[in-house]
Chains A and B, each alone.
Chain A
């Protein structure tokens, strides 16, 4: 029975112990049979589960690159060992890949012969009635109240009515149903291959990139306009990016004050984006946290937001040497934000400033400032520590716009005499270097821009897999036999193929339905 299954499937007859024949072909066959056996598939599944665990224990380069750097700083020796094992990129490591690739090869090796066999089975007749039904499930034997021919014909009718495919063998009827169970099983496994292929294609031809966009600033979907960009290995950055432009027109946030905890909870973020596709006009679209913006086949996500103080620096003659909205990164829930202002040219020396921005500043007892709420109020304050010297732009050490390397700089305004500006204020820079003004505060959003050409395919295959799974788990595949004996008895029995806990009850129901049909007063001669 069921020879198409792996030999160690519980529905298969135990295979005779077979030693590999000598020779390459025999050995390859042996290996292939091992690989496609249920036991191997099972062990590979369990290995896959086990192999995924380290990926949750240590930070991963793919999902938490900063965590990886912190780990390295904290434990360089351990990092070296774990990194040589690929633990920091578990899910693209050779050993993880080896497991799931072997699993899928095993799966393909299992699905192909089964599909072929199932295709044949779909067109085959139900098998011959076994000689002795008494060994099978739900065996029932009753007195035949009518003649043999009527009993057999009625048996056919009843079984057909219950959705069985039937075949008469002499005075017995053999029936089988639930072919969909195997179909579902094959569809499920095949669709999993589709999911894997979709993931691979999406990863290869997709890309994602990040951009911090300040109000009013235009963004074009070209490589140069990204802050960071992660293309798949087969992405051609010149042609893969769909041509469109984005602009942040307005940003609204809503917070609710929690009386008990004394904290503000965000309830809504909404960015009003200007979007322009090739040849089109700017149009306004709403972008929210759980509702990305679709532009062609590219999605734009709202992942962060914050404040960018707009500052103007003038030299002692009043000439503007720097005028820009500088994005500050939030350091707490009330959007107290930190940032760096770098003025490389125009003043007597290079100037760097480390700033804190408090949207709703209040002074603590210690004199330190904090922000009472995340909303911009008239109390908004920007404080600045000022350094002069070498920003390190020439050797690249000062390239990061969010950090200031003060090694080659001299502090000219420290914690004691930090500059403090409210919106609209202008104050002198130390050493008579000029002035700085806080003209206003702009919003910015952190955008994630994704393109995955295979995403819809992955979803389609996943849905197909679920359909197959439901079918394969909940449709029983069973064989039933009704045998009319010459001694005036009728026998009923069934055989499960796969899990079928309801079989015994189904045989009992069948026997009842059949005998009821035999005893029912007949108005027409069904013989």
Chain B
């Protein structure tokens, strides 16, 4: 098959994946609605919810599965659909890579394509560790949005790699950046849920009753922290590998190029987040807000900085 045919099939895959994700999104929404309609039972026991003074914040012990906490049919089918969509998505990514005869993340379209795939992948695999299906709406919604925006606004044909990108660091630096983005996305979803949950626990937002079926805010905060810390480590590597590559390609390891500025800003925001988690009075809402600002900066860095700011990272291909 020629490059064009493979790229066209890849695009078919992208549209199919987006359609399947959309179906999953609807089911996850129905699931949340259902969670709201069943009788609100107290959320899982929060052990240490009062541990403000003793530093012992631990997650609740896994609650025994009861009828009320087990995800319903919609969530299970939604999750299965997400997995199916992801399989198609991965196939589309692979086809794009085969068509281009290189890694499929050399321009903005491909970065968005692969990045969305990683976000969904992180979500799917994180569910092997903890039941995070209540985030399904957030993740599949984000995936559909990003895939549609990417194919509509960022699509470029397969073109050969410009000499500036022709480096092993393209594989490493960008892949690590995408992985970090995936973890930050999941972390942001958890932090947003945590903020909502906190409001509900404080007696506001009583009507958003689907929250009674998701973990308590302290558990959510701990989960978000664990996910974001992995994102932070990956981002640290992104920054370092980027610096090493910049030294090879541009002759300096750090030059405050606009993209470098934002990568630095994101790193510092998440460093602040980690410190906030260890500072009295900054746990809970302030640290969650920092994590969300951090992920917003990641999205800003990928979209606005790439397209509207001048700099050396001019790889959008647009």
B131 at the interface (CB under 8 A from A): no
- Tell me, in angstroms, the Cα distance from A499 to B225 when the chains sit together: 9
Known: A10-B277, A60-B256, A265-B160. 17 other contacts (CB 8 A): A12-B280, A38-B278, A42-B276, A49-B265, A49-B268, A56-B305, A62-B255, A208-B251, A267-B162, A288-B163, A290-B163, A290-B248, A458-B253, A496-B55, A499-B225, A499-B278, A504-B58
Contact, CB under 8 Å: B275 / A42: yes
Residue from A9, A12, A60, A137 in contact with B58 in the complex, judged by beta carbons closer than 8 Å? A137
Q: Which segment, of B89-97, B184-192, B233-241, faces chain A?
A: B233-241
Contact, CB under 8 Å: A290 / B166: yes
- Tell me, in angstroms, the Cα distance from A367 to B232 when the chains sit together: 58
A301 at the interface (CB under 8 A from B): yes
Known contacts A501-B58, A501-B222, A45 near B157 by CB under 8 Å? no
Q: What is the 8 Å Cβ interface bit string for chain A, positions 248-291, against chain B (1 contact, 0 not)?
A: 00000000101011000111110000000000000000001111
Interface residues, chain A, with chain B CB atoms under 8 Å away: 1, 8-14, 38-39, 41-42, 45-46, 48-49, 52-53, 55-57, 59-60, 62-64, 67, 90-91, 136-138, 199, 208, 256, 258, 260-261, 265-269, 288-292, 299, 301, 303, 448, 450, 452, 455, 458-459, 462-463, 466, 469-470, 473, 495-501, 503-504
Residue from B59, B161, B248, B253 in contact with A267 in the complex, judged by beta carbons closer than 8 Å? B161
Considering the complex, give the chain A residue whose CB is closest to the CB of B264.
A52
Contact, CB under 8 Å: A38 / B164: no
Contact, CB under 8 Å: B58 / A503: yes
Contact, CB under 8 Å: B256 / A41: no
Contact, CB under 8 Å: B262 / A56: yes
Residue from B4, B275, B290, B305 in contact with A41 in the complex, judged by beta carbons closer than 8 Å? B275
- Tell me, in angstroms, the Cα distance from A62 to B290 when the chains sit together: 30
Contact, CB under 8 Å: B249 / A258: no
Residue from A42, A91, A503 in contact with B282 in the complex, judged by beta carbons closer than 8 Å? A42
Considering the complex, give the chain A residue whose CB is closest to the CB of B164.
A289
Q: What is the 8 Å Cβ interface bit string for chain B, positions 81-116, against chain A (1 contact, 0 not)?
A: 000000000000000000000000000000000000
Contact, CB under 8 Å: A448 / B166: no
B125 at the interface (CB under 8 A from A): no
Contact, CB under 8 Å: A292 / B256: no
Residue from A60, A90, A136, A289 in contact with B163 in the complex, judged by beta carbons closer than 8 Å? A289
Contacts of B262 in A (CB 8 A): 56
- Tell me, in angstroms, the Cα distance from A302 to B268 when the chains sit together: 32
Contact, CB under 8 Å: A303 / B251: yes
Interface-central residue, B159, B254, B276, B278, by most chain A CB under 10 Å? B278
Contact, CB under 8 Å: A49 / B269: yes
CB distance from A272 to the nearest CB of B (A): 15
Residue from A12, A261, A448, A470 in contact with B233 in the complex, judged by beta carbons closer than 8 Å? A470
Contacts of B247 in A (CB 8 A): 455
Residue from B164, B222, B283 in contact with A10 in the complex, judged by beta carbons closer than 8 Å? B283
CB distance from A253 to the nearest CB of B (A): 9
Contacts of B159 in A (CB 8 A): 258, 261, 265
B261 at the interface (CB under 8 A from A): yes
Contact, CB under 8 Å: B226 / A38: no
Contacts of A208 in B (CB 8 A): 251-252
Considering the complex, give the chain A residue whose CB is closest to the CB of B287.
A42
Interface size on B, residues (CB 8 A): 67
Known contacts A45-B268, A455-B247, A39 near B163 by CB under 8 Å? no
CB distance from A449 to the nearest CB of B (A): 8
Considering the complex, give the chain B residue whose CB is closest to the CB of A54.
B261
Considering the complex, give the chain B residue whose CB is closest to the CB of A472.
B274
Can you sample 23 A-B contacts with CB below 8 Å?
A: A11-B55, A12-B280, A13-B53, A38-B275, A38-B280, A42-B275, A46-B272, A53-B261, A63-B312, A64-B310, A91-B256, A137-B48, A199-B254, A208-B252, A258-B157, A289-B163, A290-B166, A448-B250, A448-B251, A462-B243, A495-B56, A496-B57, A503-B58
Which residues between 269 and 303 of chain B lie within 8 Å of chain A, taking CB atoms? Answer: 269, 271-272, 275-283, 290
- Tell me, in angstroms, the Cα distance from A123 to B47 when the chains sit together: 33
B167 at the interface (CB under 8 A from A): yes
Considering the complex, give the chain A residue whose CB is closest to the CB of B272.
A45
- Tell me, in angstroms, the Cα distance from A261 to B222 when the chains sit together: 50
Contact, CB under 8 Å: B56 / A8: no
CB distance from B52 to the nearest CB of A (A): 9
B229 at the interface (CB under 8 A from A): yes
- Tell me, in angstroms, the Cα distance from A268 to B268 when the chains sit together: 36
Considering the complex, give the chain A residue whose CB is closest to the CB of B61.
A504
- Tell me, in angstroms, the Cα distance from A261 to B162 when the chains sit together: 16
- Tell me, in angstroms, the Cα distance from A62 to B261 when the chains sit together: 13
Known contacts A260-B157, A501-B59, A299 near B251 by CB under 8 Å? yes
Residue from A13, A59, A137, A289 in contact with B249 in the complex, judged by beta carbons closer than 8 Å? A289
Contact, CB under 8 Å: A63 / B280: no
Which residues between 206 and 227 of chain B lie within 8 Å of chain A, taking CB atoms? Answer: 222, 225-226
Contact, CB under 8 Å: A56 / B258: yes
B77 at the interface (CB under 8 A from A): no
Known contacts A46-B269, A290-B164, A10 near B251 by CB under 8 Å? no
Contact, CB under 8 Å: A52 / B250: no
Contact, CB under 8 Å: A450 / B252: yes
CB distance from A276 to the nearest CB of B (A): 21
